[in-house]
Chains A and B, each alone.
Chain A
Amino acid sequence: MFQSGPIFTRTLDHAGLWSGVISRGKTLRLTDLQGGANVGVLLYNADLTVERYNMPDTLKGQHTYQLTHPHCLHSDMGRLLASITADTAGWHDTACGCSDAAQVAAKYGKKSYQSGHNEFHRNGRECFLIELAKWGLGKRDLVPNLNLFSKVTADEAGVLTFVPGNSPAGAYVDLRLEMNTLVVLNTCQHPLDPDPVYHPRPVKLEVFPAQPVALTDTCINSRPENLRAAENTAAYHALRD
Protein backbone atom coordinates (compact mmCIF):
# COMPACT_ATOMS: atom_id res chain seq x y z
CA MET A 1 0.00 0.00 0.00
CA PHE A 2 2.98 2.34 0.44
CA GLN A 3 4.74 3.63 -2.67
CA SER A 4 8.16 3.56 -1.04
CA GLY A 5 9.87 1.97 1.92
CA PRO A 6 9.89 3.45 5.42
CA ILE A 7 11.69 6.75 6.00
CA PHE A 8 12.22 5.82 9.65
CA THR A 9 12.53 2.50 11.48
CA ARG A 10 13.07 1.77 15.15
CA THR A 11 12.51 -1.26 17.39
CA LEU A 12 11.53 -0.73 21.02
CA ASP A 13 12.73 -3.53 23.29
CA HIS A 14 11.84 -4.18 26.93
CA ALA A 15 9.82 -1.24 28.23
CA GLY A 16 10.82 1.05 25.41
CA LEU A 17 9.86 4.70 25.26
CA TRP A 18 9.85 7.09 22.30
CA SER A 19 8.52 10.45 21.26
CA GLY A 20 8.70 12.41 18.05
CA VAL A 21 6.86 14.82 15.80
CA ILE A 22 5.40 13.19 12.71
CA SER A 23 4.02 15.62 10.16
CA ARG A 24 0.63 15.23 8.55
CA GLY A 25 0.60 13.12 5.46
CA LYS A 26 2.76 10.40 6.96
CA THR A 27 1.75 7.03 8.40
CA LEU A 28 3.16 5.46 11.55
CA ARG A 29 3.02 1.67 11.44
CA LEU A 30 3.44 -0.18 14.74
CA THR A 31 4.11 -3.91 14.52
CA ASP A 32 3.77 -6.35 17.41
CA LEU A 33 6.82 -8.51 16.65
CA GLN A 34 6.19 -11.44 19.03
CA GLY A 35 2.49 -11.08 19.89
CA GLY A 36 1.00 -9.82 23.14
CA ALA A 37 2.49 -6.32 22.93
CA ASN A 38 0.94 -3.17 24.34
CA VAL A 39 1.76 0.34 23.15
CA GLY A 40 0.65 3.25 25.33
CA VAL A 41 0.16 6.31 23.09
CA LEU A 42 -0.51 10.00 23.72
CA LEU A 43 -1.00 12.45 20.83
CA TYR A 44 -0.71 16.27 20.79
CA ASN A 45 -0.96 18.91 18.06
CA ALA A 46 2.78 19.45 17.57
CA ASP A 47 2.34 23.12 16.64
CA LEU A 48 0.27 23.93 19.75
CA THR A 49 0.38 21.14 22.29
CA VAL A 50 -2.53 22.48 24.36
CA GLU A 51 -4.64 20.63 21.75
CA ARG A 52 -4.49 16.93 22.53
CA TYR A 53 -5.99 13.49 22.08
CA ASN A 54 -9.42 13.27 23.66
CA MET A 55 -10.68 9.82 24.64
CA PRO A 56 -14.34 10.82 25.18
CA ASP A 57 -14.69 12.71 21.90
CA THR A 58 -13.04 9.82 20.04
CA LEU A 59 -15.41 7.26 21.57
CA LYS A 60 -18.67 9.19 21.56
CA GLY A 61 -18.00 10.73 18.15
CA GLN A 62 -17.92 7.23 16.70
CA HIS A 63 -20.34 5.48 19.11
CA THR A 64 -17.68 2.93 19.98
CA TYR A 65 -15.83 1.72 23.06
CA GLN A 66 -13.06 -0.04 21.14
CA LEU A 67 -10.84 1.32 18.40
CA THR A 68 -9.93 -0.29 15.07
CA HIS A 69 -9.96 0.55 11.33
CA PRO A 70 -11.73 2.75 10.09
CA HIS A 71 -11.91 4.78 13.31
CA CYS A 72 -10.24 8.16 13.70
CA LEU A 73 -8.48 9.66 16.71
CA HIS A 74 -10.02 13.00 17.67
CA SER A 75 -8.47 15.99 19.40
CA ASP A 76 -10.28 18.04 22.05
CA MET A 77 -10.83 20.81 19.46
CA GLY A 78 -13.22 19.00 17.13
CA ARG A 79 -10.41 17.95 14.77
CA LEU A 80 -8.60 14.76 13.75
CA LEU A 81 -5.08 13.92 14.91
CA ALA A 82 -4.89 10.57 13.13
CA SER A 83 -6.87 7.90 11.30
CA ILE A 84 -6.52 4.13 11.77
CA THR A 85 -6.04 3.20 8.12
CA ALA A 86 -5.16 -0.47 8.69
CA ASP A 87 -5.37 -2.85 11.63
CA THR A 88 -4.82 -6.59 11.85
CA ALA A 89 -5.30 -6.85 15.64
CA GLY A 90 -8.93 -5.63 15.59
CA TRP A 91 -9.39 -4.09 19.04
CA HIS A 92 -7.44 -1.37 20.83
CA ASP A 93 -8.26 -0.06 24.31
CA THR A 94 -8.40 3.61 25.30
CA ALA A 95 -10.29 3.53 28.63
CA CYS A 96 -7.93 1.83 31.05
CA GLY A 97 -4.97 4.22 31.23
CA CYS A 98 -1.43 3.14 31.96
CA SER A 99 0.49 1.39 34.71
CA ASP A 100 2.09 3.35 37.55
CA ALA A 101 5.02 2.67 39.87
CA ALA A 102 2.97 1.31 42.78
CA GLN A 103 1.03 -1.06 40.54
CA VAL A 104 4.12 -2.41 38.78
CA ALA A 105 5.89 -2.95 42.12
CA ALA A 106 2.86 -4.75 43.58
CA LYS A 107 2.36 -6.95 40.52
CA TYR A 108 5.87 -7.78 39.40
CA GLY A 109 8.10 -6.78 42.30
CA LYS A 110 10.65 -4.04 42.26
CA LYS A 111 13.63 -4.41 39.97
CA SER A 112 15.99 -1.46 39.95
CA TYR A 113 18.54 -0.57 37.32
CA GLN A 114 21.23 -1.65 39.86
CA SER A 115 19.88 -5.20 39.86
CA GLY A 116 18.31 -5.48 36.41
CA HIS A 117 20.26 -3.10 34.23
CA ASN A 118 18.19 -2.30 31.14
CA GLU A 119 15.58 -4.89 32.10
CA PHE A 120 14.65 -2.86 35.18
CA HIS A 121 10.95 -2.37 35.81
CA ARG A 122 9.46 0.73 34.24
CA ASN A 123 5.85 1.86 34.28
CA GLY A 124 3.71 3.62 31.70
CA ARG A 125 3.06 6.78 33.66
CA GLU A 126 6.73 7.55 34.31
CA CYS A 127 7.64 6.75 30.71
CA PHE A 128 5.01 9.24 29.50
CA LEU A 129 6.25 11.92 31.92
CA ILE A 130 9.89 11.44 30.87
CA GLU A 131 9.11 11.89 27.18
CA LEU A 132 6.56 14.70 27.76
CA ALA A 133 9.20 16.70 29.65
CA LYS A 134 11.39 16.75 26.54
CA TRP A 135 8.69 18.79 24.76
CA GLY A 136 7.97 21.17 27.64
CA LEU A 137 4.98 19.17 28.83
CA GLY A 138 4.25 17.57 32.18
CA LYS A 139 1.67 16.30 34.64
CA ARG A 140 -0.99 18.77 33.48
CA ASP A 141 -0.81 17.17 30.05
CA LEU A 142 -1.47 13.59 31.19
CA VAL A 143 -4.81 12.50 29.76
CA PRO A 144 -6.31 9.05 29.05
CA ASN A 145 -4.06 7.29 26.53
CA LEU A 146 -4.43 4.65 23.84
CA ASN A 147 -3.38 1.08 24.56
CA LEU A 148 -2.70 -0.31 21.10
CA PHE A 149 -2.96 -4.12 20.65
CA SER A 150 -4.82 -4.59 23.97
CA LYS A 151 -8.44 -5.75 24.21
CA VAL A 152 -10.53 -5.08 27.32
CA THR A 153 -14.25 -5.83 27.22
CA ALA A 154 -17.00 -4.63 29.55
CA ASP A 155 -20.06 -6.64 30.62
CA GLU A 156 -23.55 -5.23 31.19
CA ALA A 157 -22.56 -3.99 34.64
CA GLY A 158 -19.43 -2.34 33.23
CA VAL A 159 -17.03 -4.88 34.78
CA LEU A 160 -13.84 -5.08 32.72
CA THR A 161 -12.09 -8.20 31.39
CA PHE A 162 -8.66 -8.17 29.73
CA VAL A 163 -8.71 -10.56 26.77
CA PRO A 164 -5.31 -12.26 26.26
CA GLY A 165 -4.18 -13.22 22.76
CA ASN A 166 -5.82 -10.29 20.99
CA SER A 167 -2.66 -9.47 19.09
CA PRO A 168 -0.71 -12.27 17.34
CA ALA A 169 2.93 -12.04 16.27
CA GLY A 170 3.18 -9.77 13.25
CA ALA A 171 -0.03 -7.83 13.95
CA TYR A 172 0.21 -4.20 12.90
CA VAL A 173 -1.76 -0.98 13.09
CA ASP A 174 -1.32 2.04 10.81
CA LEU A 175 -1.92 5.57 12.10
CA ARG A 176 -2.10 8.17 9.33
CA LEU A 177 -1.36 11.57 10.84
CA GLU A 178 -3.96 14.20 9.92
CA MET A 179 -2.05 16.98 11.73
CA ASN A 180 1.57 17.62 12.62
CA THR A 181 1.46 15.43 15.70
CA LEU A 182 3.67 14.89 18.71
CA VAL A 183 3.50 11.13 19.28
CA VAL A 184 4.53 9.93 22.75
CA LEU A 185 4.62 6.20 23.36
CA ASN A 186 5.95 3.38 25.47
CA THR A 187 5.70 -0.40 25.34
CA CYS A 188 4.96 -1.08 29.02
CA GLN A 189 2.48 -3.89 29.61
CA HIS A 190 -1.23 -3.07 29.77
CA PRO A 191 -2.18 -2.23 33.37
CA LEU A 192 -4.87 -4.95 33.42
CA ASP A 193 -2.76 -7.66 31.73
CA PRO A 194 -3.12 -10.63 34.13
CA ASP A 195 0.22 -12.14 33.03
CA PRO A 196 2.23 -12.28 36.31
CA VAL A 197 5.57 -12.10 34.47
CA TYR A 198 7.14 -8.73 33.66
CA HIS A 199 8.00 -8.92 29.98
CA PRO A 200 7.01 -6.02 27.74
CA ARG A 201 7.05 -7.26 24.14
CA PRO A 202 9.12 -5.69 21.34
CA VAL A 203 7.40 -3.35 18.91
CA LYS A 204 8.68 -2.07 15.56
CA LEU A 205 8.00 1.53 14.51
CA GLU A 206 8.06 2.48 10.83
CA VAL A 207 7.07 5.79 9.27
CA PHE A 208 5.96 5.91 5.62
CA PRO A 209 4.88 8.77 3.39
CA ALA A 210 1.12 8.27 3.05
CA GLN A 211 -1.02 8.56 -0.04
CA PRO A 212 -2.91 11.87 -0.30
CA VAL A 213 -6.28 11.57 1.45
CA ALA A 214 -8.90 10.73 -1.17
CA LEU A 215 -12.48 12.00 -1.11
CA THR A 216 -13.50 8.35 -0.84
CA ASP A 217 -11.26 7.72 2.18
CA THR A 218 -12.78 4.95 4.29
CA CYS A 219 -11.82 6.44 7.67
CA ILE A 220 -13.05 9.95 7.07
CA ASN A 221 -16.24 8.72 5.38
CA SER A 222 -16.97 6.04 7.97
CA ARG A 223 -19.17 8.41 9.97
CA PRO A 224 -20.54 11.93 9.41
CA GLU A 225 -18.78 12.94 12.66
CA ASN A 226 -15.42 11.99 11.15
CA LEU A 227 -16.17 13.89 7.96
CA ARG A 228 -17.10 17.03 9.92
CA ALA A 229 -13.94 16.67 12.05
CA ALA A 230 -11.89 16.30 8.84
CA GLU A 231 -13.54 19.47 7.50
CA ASN A 232 -12.60 21.25 10.74
CA THR A 233 -9.02 19.99 10.33
CA ALA A 234 -8.92 21.19 6.72
CA ALA A 235 -10.18 24.63 7.80
CA TYR A 236 -7.45 24.79 10.45
CA HIS A 237 -4.79 24.00 7.85
CA ALA A 238 -6.28 26.45 5.34
CA LEU A 239 -5.62 29.24 7.84
CA ARG A 240 -2.09 28.08 8.70
CA ASP A 241 -0.60 26.88 5.42
Chain B
Amino acid sequence: MATFILTESPLVAADAVYRQVVNAGDHWSHLIKAGQTLRILDLEGNQAADTLFYDAHDTNNRYSASDTIRHQGALYLTTGTKLISTEGDVLLTIVADTCGRHDTLGGACSRESNTMRYAHEKESMHACRDSFIRGAQECGCGHDFGKRDITCNINFFMNVPVTPEGGLTFADGVSAPGRYVELRAERDVLALISNCPQLNNPCNGWNPTPVEVLIWD
Protein backbone atom coordinates (compact mmCIF):
# COMPACT_ATOMS: atom_id res chain seq x y z
CA MET B 1 0.00 0.00 0.00
CA ALA B 2 1.50 3.30 -1.07
CA THR B 3 1.85 6.04 1.51
CA PHE B 4 -0.28 9.04 0.73
CA ILE B 5 0.96 12.56 1.44
CA LEU B 6 -1.82 14.59 3.05
CA THR B 7 -1.71 18.39 2.94
CA GLU B 8 -4.14 20.51 4.95
CA SER B 9 -5.30 23.94 3.84
CA PRO B 10 -5.12 27.15 5.91
CA LEU B 11 -8.37 28.38 4.34
CA VAL B 12 -11.44 28.74 6.56
CA ALA B 13 -14.91 27.92 5.25
CA ALA B 14 -16.39 31.10 6.76
CA ASP B 15 -14.15 33.19 4.45
CA ALA B 16 -15.32 31.49 1.25
CA VAL B 17 -16.98 33.78 -1.32
CA TYR B 18 -19.08 30.92 -2.71
CA ARG B 19 -20.49 27.70 -1.27
CA GLN B 20 -22.77 25.19 -2.95
CA VAL B 21 -23.78 21.64 -2.14
CA VAL B 22 -23.96 19.42 -5.24
CA ASN B 23 -26.26 16.48 -4.67
CA ALA B 24 -25.48 12.97 -5.90
CA GLY B 25 -26.23 12.68 -9.60
CA ASP B 26 -26.33 16.46 -10.19
CA HIS B 27 -24.13 18.53 -12.48
CA TRP B 28 -22.55 21.85 -11.53
CA SER B 29 -20.56 24.41 -13.51
CA HIS B 30 -18.90 27.63 -12.45
CA LEU B 31 -16.25 30.13 -13.51
CA ILE B 32 -13.13 30.05 -11.31
CA LYS B 33 -11.10 33.23 -11.80
CA ALA B 34 -7.29 33.19 -11.98
CA GLY B 35 -5.94 33.23 -8.42
CA GLN B 36 -9.14 31.91 -6.84
CA THR B 37 -9.09 28.62 -4.95
CA LEU B 38 -11.66 25.88 -5.47
CA ARG B 39 -12.24 23.26 -2.77
CA ILE B 40 -14.23 20.09 -3.42
CA LEU B 41 -15.36 18.61 -0.12
CA ASP B 42 -16.41 14.97 0.23
CA LEU B 43 -19.21 15.44 2.77
CA GLU B 44 -20.04 11.82 3.57
CA GLY B 45 -17.00 9.96 2.21
CA ASN B 46 -16.14 7.76 -0.79
CA GLN B 47 -18.00 9.91 -3.27
CA ALA B 48 -16.55 10.33 -6.80
CA ALA B 49 -16.58 13.92 -8.10
CA ASP B 50 -16.09 13.60 -11.87
CA THR B 51 -14.61 16.91 -13.04
CA LEU B 52 -13.68 18.66 -16.29
CA PHE B 53 -11.90 22.03 -16.64
CA TYR B 54 -11.76 24.40 -19.62
CA ASP B 55 -9.88 27.61 -20.33
CA ALA B 56 -12.77 30.06 -19.83
CA HIS B 57 -11.66 32.19 -22.81
CA ASP B 58 -11.00 29.30 -25.22
CA THR B 59 -12.95 26.16 -24.43
CA ASN B 60 -11.00 24.28 -27.15
CA ASN B 61 -8.18 24.42 -24.60
CA ARG B 62 -9.30 21.96 -21.97
CA TYR B 63 -8.14 19.55 -19.28
CA SER B 64 -6.15 16.70 -20.77
CA ALA B 65 -5.69 13.50 -18.76
CA SER B 66 -2.77 12.27 -20.89
CA ASP B 67 -0.96 15.64 -20.92
CA THR B 68 -1.33 15.84 -17.13
CA ILE B 69 -0.05 12.28 -16.65
CA ARG B 70 2.91 12.88 -18.98
CA HIS B 71 3.81 16.28 -17.54
CA GLN B 72 4.19 14.92 -14.02
CA GLY B 73 5.47 11.48 -15.08
CA ALA B 74 2.94 9.78 -12.81
CA LEU B 75 -0.63 8.48 -12.94
CA TYR B 76 -2.23 9.74 -9.72
CA LEU B 77 -3.11 13.30 -8.77
CA THR B 78 -2.30 14.86 -5.40
CA THR B 79 -0.78 18.01 -3.84
CA GLY B 80 1.58 19.66 -6.30
CA THR B 81 0.02 18.15 -9.42
CA LYS B 82 -0.44 20.68 -12.21
CA LEU B 83 -3.52 20.08 -14.34
CA ILE B 84 -2.36 20.49 -17.94
CA SER B 85 -4.53 21.42 -20.92
CA THR B 86 -4.53 20.11 -24.48
CA GLU B 87 -2.50 23.22 -25.43
CA GLY B 88 0.09 22.46 -22.73
CA ASP B 89 -1.05 25.22 -20.36
CA VAL B 90 -1.37 24.86 -16.58
CA LEU B 91 -5.07 25.28 -15.80
CA LEU B 92 -4.95 24.70 -12.03
CA THR B 93 -2.55 23.40 -9.36
CA ILE B 94 -3.58 21.10 -6.52
CA VAL B 95 -2.50 23.03 -3.40
CA ALA B 96 -4.09 20.95 -0.63
CA ASP B 97 -5.38 17.40 -0.41
CA THR B 98 -6.52 15.47 2.66
CA CYS B 99 -7.41 12.39 0.61
CA GLY B 100 -3.98 11.83 -0.98
CA ARG B 101 -4.80 10.26 -4.33
CA HIS B 102 -7.18 11.05 -7.17
CA ASP B 103 -7.74 9.20 -10.43
CA THR B 104 -7.66 10.42 -14.02
CA LEU B 105 -7.48 7.06 -15.87
CA GLY B 106 -10.93 5.73 -15.02
CA GLY B 107 -13.02 8.28 -16.90
CA ALA B 108 -16.68 8.98 -16.33
CA CYS B 109 -19.47 6.42 -16.30
CA SER B 110 -22.03 6.61 -19.08
CA ARG B 111 -25.30 4.81 -19.80
CA GLU B 112 -23.63 3.24 -22.83
CA SER B 113 -20.52 2.10 -20.98
CA ASN B 114 -22.68 0.74 -18.14
CA THR B 115 -24.15 -1.73 -20.64
CA MET B 116 -20.64 -2.84 -21.55
CA ARG B 117 -19.23 -2.92 -18.03
CA TYR B 118 -22.13 -4.34 -16.01
CA ALA B 119 -25.16 -5.56 -18.00
CA HIS B 120 -27.34 -4.49 -20.93
CA GLU B 121 -30.25 -3.79 -18.57
CA LYS B 122 -28.24 -1.10 -16.71
CA GLU B 123 -28.79 1.21 -19.69
CA SER B 124 -31.59 3.13 -18.00
CA MET B 125 -29.48 4.10 -14.97
CA HIS B 126 -28.37 7.70 -14.58
CA ALA B 127 -24.68 8.25 -15.39
CA CYS B 128 -22.01 10.94 -15.42
CA ARG B 129 -21.64 11.55 -19.14
CA ASP B 130 -25.34 12.43 -19.40
CA SER B 131 -24.79 14.88 -16.51
CA PHE B 132 -21.74 16.33 -18.30
CA ILE B 133 -23.79 16.82 -21.48
CA ARG B 134 -26.49 18.63 -19.48
CA GLY B 135 -23.83 20.70 -17.73
CA ALA B 136 -22.25 21.61 -21.08
CA GLN B 137 -25.67 22.63 -22.43
CA GLU B 138 -26.39 24.79 -19.37
CA CYS B 139 -23.00 26.41 -18.76
CA GLY B 140 -23.42 29.31 -21.18
CA CYS B 141 -20.51 28.27 -23.42
CA GLY B 142 -22.61 28.32 -26.58
CA HIS B 143 -25.21 25.98 -28.00
CA ASP B 144 -22.88 23.57 -29.70
CA PHE B 145 -20.88 22.95 -26.53
CA GLY B 146 -21.72 19.31 -25.97
CA LYS B 147 -20.58 15.75 -26.41
CA ARG B 148 -17.43 16.59 -28.42
CA ASP B 149 -16.29 18.64 -25.46
CA ILE B 150 -16.71 15.81 -22.93
CA THR B 151 -13.21 14.36 -22.75
CA CYS B 152 -11.33 12.30 -20.18
CA ASN B 153 -11.93 13.73 -16.74
CA ILE B 154 -10.59 13.68 -13.20
CA ASN B 155 -12.28 11.49 -10.59
CA PHE B 156 -11.61 13.27 -7.34
CA PHE B 157 -11.62 10.93 -4.30
CA MET B 158 -11.43 7.81 -6.50
CA ASN B 159 -8.66 5.21 -6.31
CA VAL B 160 -7.82 3.21 -9.45
CA PRO B 161 -4.48 1.49 -8.75
CA VAL B 162 -2.26 0.22 -11.57
CA THR B 163 0.16 -2.65 -10.89
CA PRO B 164 3.74 -2.82 -12.23
CA GLU B 165 2.57 -5.77 -14.37
CA GLY B 166 0.00 -3.58 -16.10
CA GLY B 167 -3.17 -4.57 -14.21
CA LEU B 168 -5.83 -2.05 -13.24
CA THR B 169 -8.33 -2.40 -10.41
CA PHE B 170 -11.10 -0.39 -8.83
CA ALA B 171 -10.25 -0.18 -5.17
CA ASP B 172 -12.44 0.87 -2.29
CA GLY B 173 -12.40 4.59 -1.80
CA VAL B 174 -9.48 6.16 0.04
CA SER B 175 -11.63 9.10 1.09
CA ALA B 176 -13.70 9.67 4.23
CA PRO B 177 -16.27 12.20 5.46
CA GLY B 178 -14.79 15.72 5.47
CA ARG B 179 -11.83 15.02 3.20
CA TYR B 180 -11.19 17.58 0.50
CA VAL B 181 -9.01 18.61 -2.41
CA GLU B 182 -8.13 22.22 -3.17
CA LEU B 183 -7.05 23.73 -6.48
CA ARG B 184 -5.68 27.15 -7.30
CA ALA B 185 -6.74 28.45 -10.73
CA GLU B 186 -3.72 29.56 -12.78
CA ARG B 187 -6.00 31.22 -15.35
CA ASP B 188 -9.73 31.82 -15.67
CA VAL B 189 -11.23 28.33 -15.89
CA LEU B 190 -14.68 26.87 -16.27
CA ALA B 191 -15.23 23.91 -13.93
CA LEU B 192 -17.81 21.24 -14.80
CA ILE B 193 -18.62 18.59 -12.20
CA SER B 194 -20.81 15.52 -12.45
CA ASN B 195 -21.34 14.23 -8.94
CA CYS B 196 -21.33 10.55 -9.84
CA PRO B 197 -24.59 8.57 -9.47
CA GLN B 198 -22.87 5.22 -10.13
CA LEU B 199 -24.49 2.39 -8.17
CA ASN B 200 -22.60 -0.53 -9.69
CA ASN B 201 -19.09 -0.33 -8.25
CA PRO B 202 -17.32 0.58 -5.01
CA CYS B 203 -16.11 4.00 -6.24
CA ASN B 204 -18.74 5.63 -4.04
CA GLY B 205 -19.50 2.73 -1.74
CA TRP B 206 -22.67 1.79 -3.71
CA ASN B 207 -24.23 4.90 -2.15
CA PRO B 208 -23.80 8.21 -4.03
CA THR B 209 -23.73 11.18 -1.65
CA PRO B 210 -23.42 15.00 -1.93
CA VAL B 211 -20.21 17.00 -2.23
CA GLU B 212 -19.76 20.69 -1.43
CA VAL B 213 -17.83 23.19 -3.55
CA LEU B 214 -16.28 26.27 -1.95
CA ILE B 215 -14.40 29.15 -3.61
CA TRP B 216 -12.03 31.68 -2.02
CA ASP B 217 -10.66 34.86 -3.59
- Residues of A at under 8 Å CB distance from B? 50, 54-57, 59-61, 63-66, 74, 76-79, 91, 95-98, 100, 102-103, 138-145, 153-160, 191-192, 225, 228-229, 231-232
Contacts and interface: CB of A to CB of B under 8 A. Distances in A.
Contacts of B169: 63
Interface string B76-106: 1000000000101000000000000000011
Interface stretch (B12-20, B25-33, B65-73, B208-216): B65-73
B113 interface: yes
Interface residues of B, number: 44
Contact of B113 (A78, A144, A192): A78
Contact of B75 (A95, A103, A139, A140): A95
6 contacts: A55-B152, A60-B168, A61-B113, A65-B166, A158-B75, A232-B120
B120 A231 contact: yes
Contacts of A54: 107, 113, 152
Contacts of B162: 65, 154, 158
A78 B123 CA distance: 10
A229 B108 CA distance: 17
A27 B170 CA distance: 32
Contacts of A78: 110, 112-116
Contacts of A155: 164
Contacts of A140: 60, 148-149
Name the 5 nearest CB pairs between A and B, nearest first: A56-B107, A97-B66, A78-B112, A66-B166, A158-B75
Nearest to A97: B66
Contact of B66 (A64, A66, A96, A231): A96
B64 interface: yes
Interface in B105-142: 105-108, 110, 112-117, 119-120, 129
A225 B112 CA distance: 12
A157 B167 contact: no
A76 B110 contact: yes
B116 A144 contact: no
B57 interface: no
B40 to A, nearest CB: 20
B70 A156 contact: no
B112 A77 contact: yes
A51 to B, nearest CB: 9
A60 B129 CA distance: 16
Given A60-B160, A153-B166, A74 B116 contact: yes
A225 B168 CA distance: 15
Contact of A63 (B61, B70, B112, B168): B168
A66 B167 CA distance: 7
A145 B70 CA distance: 13
A142 B113 contact: no
B2 A228 contact: no
A65 B116 contact: no
Nearest to A67: B166
Contact of A95 (B105, B148, B149, B164): B105
Nearest to B149: A140
Contacts of A154: 74-75, 162, 164
